[in-house]
Amino acid sequence: MSHFSPTAAVSYFFNYFLMKGVLVTIGLTVAAVVGGLILGMGIALLRMSSNPVLAGAARFYIWFFRGTPLLIQLVVIYSGLPQLGIKFSVITCALVGLILNEAAYLAEIVRSGFMAVSVGQREAAWALSLSPWVTFRRVTLPQAFRLMIPPLGNSINSLLKATSLASVISVEELMRRSDMLMQEHFQILEVYAAATAYYLILTSVWDAVQRRLEKHFGRSSAAKTRRVAASPPVAQASVEARA
Amino acid sequence: MSERSMARAEGATVQPQLREVPAVRMEAVYKHYGDFTALNEVDLKVAKGEKIVVCGPSGSGKSTLIRCINHIEKHDEGLIYVNGTELDRQRKNIDTVRRDTGMVFQSFNLFPHMTVLENCILAPMTVNGMSEAEAKDLAMHFLTKVRIPDQAEKFPGQLSGGQQQRVAIARALCMRPKIMLFDEPTSALDPEMVKEVLETMKKLAEEGMTMLCVTHEMGFAREVADRIVFMNEGRVVEQAAPEEFFENPKSERARAFLDQIIH
């Protein structure tokens, strides 16, 4: 077989077995994002806490999970932990690994988002005697979230592709199923062309979602972003003068 | 209640205008930032309805002083009473004081992701439990008062600095505060917008609001203030009625300060 067969590639693309792998990839990504965001938010809050023990623990967590390869984390959870008598199903192993890893990155994104909201916003909320919950929910979170979307989008894009590492611990997601097809038919380029197309489609769909999110959360601040970012109120006034 | 009866009991010995619970009472207040002493044994008493202008060179503690009154800065030592409530770090008291006071900041600090109207109704609804309709009526009342009812649906970023600051005043008034604190409300504005904000503040003063303003606007101070509080290096150096302060400042430091700003 010395040539590339487009028909074979197309047929792999519509292969039911491969499509189910795509669904597993999507499932892993969504679950890891949701789990990672919840855990990451908690870690970010600890990291910002004034309690040095909590902040230190959060810092250690982030340092550890960002400082080691996801591949090692997955293998340790899947093959290493059973040695200590801790056993999970394959899918659980993959999810635990992906969530723990993703949370470390998202925690830093969440933290940077909150830190970028000016102190003045919190002071205004205090002065209005808003409760801590209302201040968080209505004042700081929406502003922080808007700032988090671009790095969040980046991280989720990485995560989507990183789920392919779960193939190593035999999770039958897109990558693993491509391998299986390839070993069966030896049409290496054709199979991986189909897989590549799926990854590109998934990341493109996510790009589109991210753009819509940015637009949605930026709508109120299209004019303002420039000014608040440029901060000196003198600049604000001059914008007005020109208008 | 007890505050009031205590004041009454002392009635024979204190001056008559102080028989009422003062709006603000500070006694030997200290505030430190590391080695820097921002407030150094500050005593201040503000009667209800009184208009105070706090001035002084930069770094003299003016902003810290008024920011301690609603506990945005926490004083280290001394006593602060606002409308008879002691700021003693009890959550309940801090909340009471913050409900009694409104604050206007140099940099406006409007919530940029909310419309003008949303900025104004957030606290009345979530803190005072008003219905949306009631809160909107209230907000429109105060937006009309600061003369920008037509901007209610706009976002702060679409307004000029002067308009934003007037929204900030309306937002504070929506909580029906008894005392208004102004922290250099016009310092961040272009000169042509200073006037509209000062006019709004004057109107508020005419209505009898108790006001403490940190400002460099000496024209405003002359016209509106009942008393000028001059600060330097964290201390209240001089307190006097505007005529007296401007014509005949007692301290060397105040004279030097006035020479510099009045040319």
Q: What is the pLDDT of residues A77-124, one digit of tens each?
A: 999 999 999 889 999 999 999 999 999 999 999 999 999 999 999 999
pLDDT value at A227 more than 90:
no
pLDDT band at A218 (very low <50, low <70, confident <90, very high): confident
A234 touches chain B (CB under 8 A): yes
Beta carbons of B170 and B120 less than 8 angstroms apart: yes
What CA–CA distance (Å, rounded) separates B94 from A150? Answer: 38
Question: Helix-strand-coil percent breakdown of chain B, rounded to 5?
Answer: 45, 25, 35
Phi, psi of B123 (to 5 degrees): -70, -45
Terminal Cα distance for chain B, rounded: 49
Q: What is the pLDDT of residues B124-152, one digit of tens each?
A: 999 999 999 999 999 999 999 999 999 99
pLDDT value of residue A226: 41
pLDDT band at A3 (very low <50, low <70, confident <90, very high): confident
pLDDT band at A219 (very low <50, low <70, confident <90, very high): low
How open is the CA angle B101-B151-A128, to the nearest 5 degrees? 20
pLDDT value of residue A220: 61
CB distance B161–A236 less than 8 Å?
A: yes
CB distance B109–A121 less than 8 Å?
A: yes
Size of interface A-B (CB pairs under 8 A): 104
- Side-chain-side CA neighbours of A191 within 13 Å: the count stands at 19
Q: Which of B227, B27, B187 is nearest to B104 (CA)?
A: B187
pLDDT value of residue B89: 83
Q: What is the pLDDT of residues B84-122, one digit of tens each?
A: 999 998 999 999 999 999 999 999 999 999 999 999 999
> Over pLDDT 90: what percentage of chain A?
80
What residues in B contact A218, CB-CB < 8 Å? none
Q: Give the residue-averaged pLDDT of A178-207.
A: 94
pLDDT band at B163 (very low <50, low <70, confident <90, very high): very high
Quote the mean pLDDT of chain B: 91
What CA–CA distance (Å, rounded) separates B169 from A118? Answer: 20
pLDDT value at B6 more than 80:
no
Angle between helices B132-145 and B116-126 (to 10 degrees): 130
What CA–CA distance (Å, rounded) separates B34 from A217? Answer: 40
pLDDT band at B17 (very low <50, low <70, confident <90, very high): low
pLDDT value of residue A63: 96
> Over pLDDT 70: what percentage of chain A?
89
Alpha-carbon dihedral sign for residues A182, A186, A187, A192: positive
What CA–CA distance (Å, rounded) separates A105 from A108? Answer: 5
Sequence-ordered alpha helix ranges (H) in A4-51: 6-13, 16-48
What residues in A contact B112, CB-CB < 8 Å? 143, 220-221, 224, 228
- What residue of B is the nearest CA neighbor of A233? B188
pLDDT value of residue B28: 95
What residues in B contact A232, CB-CB < 8 Å? 188
Beta carbons of B224 and B201 less than 8 angstroms apart: yes
Return the residue in A216, A236, A242 with the most chain B beta carbons within 10 A, the one to mutate for interface testing: A236
Q: What is the pTM of this model?
A: 0.79
Contacts of B104 (CB under 8 A, 6+ apart): B165, B168, B169, B172, B180, B181, B182, B183, B185
Q: Give the residue-averaged pLDDT of B42-49.
A: 95
pLDDT value of residue B178: 96
What residues in B contact A131, CB-CB < 8 Å? 126-127
- What residue of A is the nearest CA neighbor of B185? A233
What residues in A contact B189, CB-CB < 8 Å? 233, 237
What residues in A contact B71, CB-CB < 8 Å? 126
pLDDT value of residue B217: 92
> Over pLDDT 90: what percentage of chain B?
87
pLDDT band at A221 (very low <50, low <70, confident <90, very high): low
pLDDT value of residue B165: 96
- Give the residue, A11 or A234, on which the prediction is more confident: A11
Q: Give the residue-averaged pLDDT of A33-60.
A: 95
Q: Give the residue-averaged pLDDT of A199-217.
A: 93
Q: Pairing state of beta strands B179-183 and B210-214?
A: parallel
Give me the residues of A, 128-147, that contact B with CB < 8 A.
128-131, 134, 138-139, 142-143, 146
Sequence-ordered alpha helix ranges (H) in B113-173: 116-126, 132-145, 161-173
Return the residue in B71, B104, B107 with the most chain A beta carbons within 10 A, the one to mutate for interface testing: B107
Q: Which of A173, A209, A201, A185 is nearest to A74 (CA)?
A: A173
